[in-house]
């Protein structure tokens, strides 16, 4: 997606060979117009898939996932990283290790908001080794629902996540695919 790639080039900060910081439009300040365009693009790619629910993980997945859900006219559910005091019973729990924060969270979703007949589109901001997306897929499958696909805003294609998800049988759609962050420069996979 050209507008996203342009934004990454103009505002992204390469922190290391493996980490890209995009706090100015996705991970801290958010660009609503770009979020809207990304939501429309995900919705276009999954238009024929009869999606009934969009699932993401707090917090940075929420904005693109919400715009996708709005365009598809389905609810958005976000998995929580911290156990909420009001979220007590019937929880689906999966352990997810965070690549950037180097912590493991018990990620939870209430069974109230996912049912076996759901056809779920998983959305996340980044794909690195695929832990977050796999955790969301396991949550979906724990309730007997189907994973229709996984939509990623920024895929770091030089890490293992995409391969792992495709090997596991999931369809992965990424709006920007990064081939390398070497020498503080962002190189994309041209598609």
Contact range with ligand 5GP by CB under 6 A, out of 62-70, 110-118, 123-131, 138-146:
123-131
Q: Binding residue for ligand 5GP (CB under 6 A) from 1, 19, 30, 91?
A: 19
Q: Is 112 annotated as a binding residue?
A: no
Please tell me the chain's helix, strand, coil percentages from 3-state DSSP, rounded to the nearest 5.
35, 30, 35
Residue 130 annotated as lining a ligand binding site = yes
State yes or no: cis peptide before 59, omega within 30 of 0.
yes
Stretch of 2-10, 28-36, 92-100, 137-145 lying at the interface with ligand 5GP (CB under 6 A): 92-100
Residues binding ligand 5GP: what is the number (CB under 6 A)? 19
Q: Which of 44, 93, 41 is nearest to 64 (CA)?
A: 41
By CB under 6 A, residue 132 contacts ligand 5GP: yes
Q: Does 155 bind ligand 5GP (CB under 6 A)?
A: no
- Least spacing, CB of residue 107 vs ligand 5GP, in Å: 11
Q: Under the criterion CB under 6 A, does residue 125 sit at the interface with ligand 5GP?
A: yes
| CA 52 – CA 60 distance, rounded (Å) | 21
* Of 1-9, 13-21, 39-47, 73-81: span binding ligand 5GP (CB under 6 A): 13-21
State how far Cα 169 lies from the chain centre.
17
If binding is defined by CB under 6 A, does position 172 make contact with ligand 5GP? no
Secondary structure of residue 62 in the 3-state scheme: helix
Pairing assessment for the beta strands 187-188 and 172-180 based on DSSP bridges? antiparallel
Q: Is 136 in the site for ligand 5GP (CB under 6 A)?
A: no
Please tell me the number of Cα atoms within 13 Å of 21 on its side-chain side: 10
Nearer to ligand 5GP, 53 or 162 (CB): 162
Cβ 54 vs Cβ 43: under 8 Å: no
Residue 128 binds ligand 5GP (CB under 6 A): yes
Among 38, 131, 147, 150, interactor with ligand 5GP by CB under 6 A:
131
Residue (of 156, 133, 130) closest to 55 by Cα position:
133
Binding residue positions for xanthine: 20, 27, 156
């Amino acid at each position: 997606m050209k507008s996203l790639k342009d934004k990454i080039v103009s505002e992204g900060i390469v922190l290391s060979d493996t980490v890209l910081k995009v706090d100015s439009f996705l991970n801290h300040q958010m660009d609503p117009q770009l979020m809207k365009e990304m939501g429309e693009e995900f919705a276009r790619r999954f238009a024929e898939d009869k999606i009934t629910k969009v699932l993401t993980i707090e917090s940075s997945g929420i904005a693109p996932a919400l715009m996708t859900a709005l365009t598809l006219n389905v609810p958005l559910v976000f998995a929580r990283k911290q156990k909420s005091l009001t979220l007590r019973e019937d929880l689906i729990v999966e352990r997810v290790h965070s690549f950037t924060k180097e912590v493991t969270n018990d990620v939870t979703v209430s069974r109230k908001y996912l049912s076996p007949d759901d056809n779920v589109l998983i959305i996340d901001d980044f794909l690195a080794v695929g832990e977050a997306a796999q955790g969301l897929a396991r949550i979906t499958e724990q309730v007997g629902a189907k994973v229709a696909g996984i939509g990623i805003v920024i895929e770091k294609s030089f890490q293992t996540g995409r391969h792992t998800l495709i090997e596991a049988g999931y369809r992965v759609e990424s709006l920007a695919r990064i081939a390398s962050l070497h020498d503080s420069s962002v190189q994309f996979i041209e598609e």
